[in-house]
Amino acid sequence: MILSLTGFMGCGKSSVGRKLSQLLCCRFMDLDEMIEAEAGNSIPEIFAEIGESGFREIERRVLDRAVLMPPAYNRHTSLTDQYLEIISLGGGTIMTRECAEIVRERTMCVYLRATVETLAEHLEGETQGRPMLKGNVHQRITELMAQRAATYEGAAHIIIDIDGKSADEVAQAIIDSLSRR
Ligand code: S3P
C-alpha cells in the first residue's frame, strides 16, 4: 500500500511523512525532492526556466513512476500485512487531473487540512523556495485555497485537521485513523 500525503504548502506533508515512516519502519518518498533530482534543478529554477506548466509535466511523470516502483524491502508492521510506502506530494500535485486520478486510484490519500491562519503561520519565512507564493502570502494562500480546497477533499480517503497539532500528533492521528479502517 502507498500512503500519499496531500494538502496546502506548509501543512507539514514532508515532516509528517518522515515521522510516519520512522514510526512504521517503511520507505518515505518526497515528490518535490524526486522532481528536483529528475530535473537536476531546484523548484524555483524549474519554474523560472519552463514555467508552472513545465513543472506540472515533470511532476506528473515523476509521480506516475514513483507509485509504480516496486516496494523497497521494509518490515511488516502490525498496522497492515501489506508493504507500506509513504509519499508526500507537492501542494499542487492533485490539481493536475491525471495526478489526481493516479493518487486516488493507486494510493491511500491523506489530506492534512489546515486553516489559512495556520498555513500563514507555518509559511512565515518559508516562502523562498515556493514560486506559487510570490506576492502577499496571506492573500495568495486565501486565493489558492479557494481554488483547491474542494479538490483536496475530493482526492482524500482520510482527512486530518492539523490546526494546533505537532507533526508527531498528526502522524499519530493518521495511524489511529488507519487502524480504525
Ligand atoms: C506547489 C507546492 C510545492 C511545490 C511547488 C508547487 C503548489 O510543494 O511542489 O512549489 O503548487 O502548491 P510543497 O507543498 O511541498 O511546498
DSSP letters for 104-135: HHHSEEEEEE--HHHHHHHHTT--TT-GGG-S
What's this model's pTM, rounded to 2 decimal places?
Answer: 0.93
| Distant-in-sequence, close-in-space partners of 155: CB < 8 Å, separation ≥ 6 | 6, 94, 100, 103, 104, 109, 111
The burial class, CB within 10 Å (0-12 / 13-18 / 19+), for 41 is: middle
- For ligand 1, mutation pick of 53, 58, 130 (most atoms within 8 Å of CB): 130
Residues of the chain under the 70 pLDDT cut? 69-82
What CATH number has the domain bearing residue 88?
3.40.50.300
pLDDT at position 7: 98
CA 81 to centroid of ligand 1, rounded, Å: 32
* Whole-number pLDDT of residue 37: 96
- Give the structural domain span for 7: 2-179
Q: CB under 8 Å to 87, separation ≥6 — which residues? A: 2, 3, 4, 5, 17, 28, 29, 30, 31, 66, 67, 107
Q: Cell numbers of 67, please?
A: 507509485
Ligand 1 pocket list (CB less than 6 A): 9, 13, 32, 43, 90-92, 130-132
Looking at residue 83, its pLDDT comes to: 77
Nearest-Å Rg of the Cα atoms of the chain is 16
Number of domains making up the chain: 1
Cα separation, 60 vs 54, in Å, equals 10
pLDDT of the residue at 77: 45
Query: Which ligand 1 atom is the nearest neighbour of the CA of 7?
Result: 14
What is the three-class DSSP state of 80? strand
Q: Are 112 and 160 in contact (CB under 8 A)?
A: yes
pLDDT at 74: 45
